Structure 1
């Protein structure tokens, strides 16, 4: 009787080759899967590779972004007045370009015969009026003397009439004179009083009249003196003086030339005070403001200043701005010396930022390649405020991300690129 089939089973021992079959199968499957993944990718992405040495990289970080305007400029004299001709005439240029002058030195003169002759005529007229004033004073004294003489004579006549009137009073009491003679003495007394009063009024009126006439004559003399003073000032101004200490700039006319009034003659450059003149692109004109900090670079020397003035007009798509800064002998500044500058617009703390690079212009500020190990992947981004060295990242990045900051044109718009 057969109970089961155990008697038919044969026990076999596993050999070494069968143990290795299973790992080999898994390896082959992994290779096949990898091949399928690589073959499924676009030919424009991972199939492209770029050498690492041809690229530039930067890591995103947080910090304070100083938004600024990079520009260039030159050193100019803060005070370089232009001297003009005060009158029409022939000019004589005394100081030459480059000569050092002190304040008040005569640098040019104008020869104006018309003005000098007019001055002499007015001076002669003034002397004549002064002589007339002195003559009027003498005549006034003579007329006052006559009026005083008339007043004194009237006073004497009054005293004589008063004395005759008192004697008449005594004689009438004694009836030694007639009543007619007595009344005549009273009339003479009254007449003498009237003459004395009128003589006093006449003397006072004469005094007031002479004082008024003398005052008018004196005012005419003063008026003429003002005319002479003005002409003397104009003649003195024909000697043109340096308003500041410095050097002579350029001649703006020829030697011994016939020039008109208010025509420019020459410039005087004040070397004791310099300013920086910057050419700022007109796109930044609305952001400029008086008092903004400016960083000036004279080679390896850096100086801080502030905006002192901004031109209201645009020339060659640029706005001219003046910067005032502290000066020292160590700077050794010269007129028209070139410099570079940064106008500091604002400080933004705690900003996600990255160093500037060619990716901003080549990608239009909207695309960048972000490194993931050895793979550069195209990523959409949004950028914000920009400075001379950094640019703000609004979207598309995090702290620690590594971006390709060089131009993205070599990537040929591929989604992924191998960086080797």
Structure 2
């Protein structure tokens, strides 16, 4: 016996079209009603655009202190990193390698200069000869002075003898024991003896002055030669290049055993006791920089305040190099050429109406912005003033508490009013 299905009992029901269209019609009417209310509330004839709120950035105008600054980057450099130069031409031998630690006065390189060392030996030999000549001149001077003294002594003896003969003649002439001619000859001998004695005395004094001058002249020549030798000794000693500061060897600036000229750079010594920050500032800000300006240096999470210590007078790659001196901090583990970010604080303007910077400055030329009035962004003419890296001064077109669209104004298509939904 077969069991039949229920297909014979089913009845076909036709769909009700009014119920199918009911919910779409209701939803459409609601949208039209809301849109009509919004358009009627803002004067729909002036609104031609609408933009999603998520596509825009907003900022509120506020009153406060505007800090004009320059954001830049830089690196850590040693405050004292002298470059050592060759003192004479020759063959260089580098004794310290890059990274080696050295102390003040350590010999880090030597220069072999045969010309300079031979010149020193020649001048030393010349000095020895001049010293011998000086001693010989002193001996000759003593000998000449002795001869002059002997001549003076003999003249004194002759004078005494002539004086004695003259007195004896006076006695004899009174007793008429000698002739007048012999008497006068005795007087002439006395006068001659006096002249010879006076001349011998003058000759001895002149000889003493002459010999003194000759000795002084030769001594001056010896002193001059000593200075020549002393200078050459200094130059030879300078062939041993010494570290002017304690630290580490930086870079070799020449090759080992290379033939170098005078005043050629050899190597650098880095003083690790003090560091400075070297910043690259765009040349457009060069005229605003000044020594002593405060600079905010960022080392990761740690921020320090320093001041500009030097500004380069030249421009390279459209940038000006500036040095910043700052207090060393034990929390910092600084290394040569370590990168950092910095902010040069140019000026503080108190009680300024300002707003955060955004793309509206460049896209609107700094002359227009869209200010929020409820859900409507209205095109507004503005005038901007001083600028920092984060804020910009508002001179006209706004007041504290106003909300501006600080993103690009290009999506607004120059419309006077735009709905922000």
Q: Which residue in the other structure is 1:267 paired with?
A: 268
Summarize the Cα distance change of 1:33–1:272 in structure 2 as closer, same or farther, 3 Å threshold: closer
Q: CA contact under 8 A between 1:367 and 1:378: conserved in structure 2?
A: yes
Taking the aligned partners of 1:287 and 1:349, their CA distance within structure 2 comes to 19
Return the offset for 1:40: 5.0
Equivalent runs, 1:263-342 vs 2, <5 Å: 263-342=264-343
Give the secondary-structure state (helix, strand or coil) at the position aligned to 2:401.
coil
> Does 2:45 correspond to 1:41?
yes
Distance, in Å, in 2 between the alignment partners of 1:165 and 1:265 is: 90
> Aligned runs of 1:8-407 on 2, under 5 Å?
40-42=44-46, 44-45=48-49, 48-51=50-53, 53-407=54-408
- Structure 1 unaligned runs (5+)? 1-30
Structure 2: distance between partners of 1:36 and 1:294: 55
Secondary structure of the 2:48 match is coil
CA contact (8 A) 2:47 2:418 kept: no
Equivalenced residues, count: 387
C-alpha contact (below 8 Å) 2:85/2:265 kept by paired residues: yes
Deviation at 1:36, TM superposition (A): 6.5
Shift of 1:358: 2.3
The worse-fitting range, judged by mean Cα deviation, of 129-138 and 376-385 is 376-385
Q: How far did residue 42 of structure 1 move?
A: 4.5
How far apart are residue 231 of structure 1 and its match? 0.7
Any gaps of 5 or more consecutive residues in structure 2? Answer: 1-34
What is the Cα deviation at residue 229 of structure 1? 0.8
Shift of 1:330: 2.3
Contact persistence 1:50–1:417 (CA under 8 A): no
CA contact under 8 A between 2:296 and 2:344: conserved in structure 1? yes
| CA deviation string 1:24-62 (max 9, x = no partner) | xxxxxxx999866778524623xx1313x3332221111
Q: TM-score, normalised by structure 2?
A: 0.88
Q: Post-superposition shift, 1:133?
A: 0.3
Check whether the contact 1:369–1:379 (CA below 8 A) recurs between aligned residues: yes
With over 3 angstroms needed to count, the CA separation of the structure-2 counterparts of 1:205 and 1:104, relative to structure 1, is same
Deviation at 1:207, TM superposition (A): 0.7
Change (3 A) 1:388 1:412: same
TM-score (norm 1): 0.88
1:244 aligned counterpart, secondary structure = coil
CA distance in 1, matches of 2:147, 2:415: 124
Distance 2:139 2:36 in 1: 138
3-state SS, counterpart of residue 331 of structure 2: helix
Comparing 167-176 with 379-388, greater Cα deviation is found at: 167-176
CA distance in 1, matches of 2:363, 2:332: 40
1:122 is displaced (CA, Å) by: 0.7
The answer (yes or no) to whether the contact 1:89–1:259 under 8 Å persists in 2 is: yes
CA–CA separation in structure 1 for the residues paired with 2:36 and 2:231: 109
The corresponding residue for 1:19 is none
Query: Which digits, 9 at most, give the CA deviation of each residue in 1:151-171, with x for residues without a partner?
Result: 001001101111111111122
1:238-295, Cα deviation, whole Å (9 max, x unpaired): 0011111111111011111111111111111111221111111111111111221111
- The C-alpha deviation readout for 1:300-340, integer Å capped at 9, x for no partner, is 11111111111122212111111112223322221111111
Question: How far off its partner does 1:214 sit?
Answer: 0.9
Contact 1:102–1:244 (8 Å) recurs in 2: yes
Distance 1:56 1:37, change over 3 A: closer
Distance (Å, rounded) in 1 between the aligned partners of 2:290 and 2:264: 35
Deviation at 1:393, TM superposition (A): 0.3
**For the residues of structure 2 that align with 1:297 and 1:36, how far apart are their CA atoms?**
54
Mark the CA change 1:348 to 1:413 in structure 2 (over 3 Å): closer, same or farther.
same
Counterpart Cα distance in 2 of 1:73 and 1:36: 58
CA contact 1:81–1:267 (8 Å) conserved in 2: yes
In 2, Cα distance between the equivalents of 1:98 and 1:415? 67
Q: Secondary structure at the match of 2:152?
A: helix
- CA drift of 1:198 comes to 0.4
C-alpha distance in 2, partners of 1:314/1:32? 62
Measured in 1, the distance between the counterparts of 2:62 and 2:150 equals: 112
- 3-state SS of paired residue (1:365): coil
Segment drifting more, 74-83 vs 197-206: 74-83
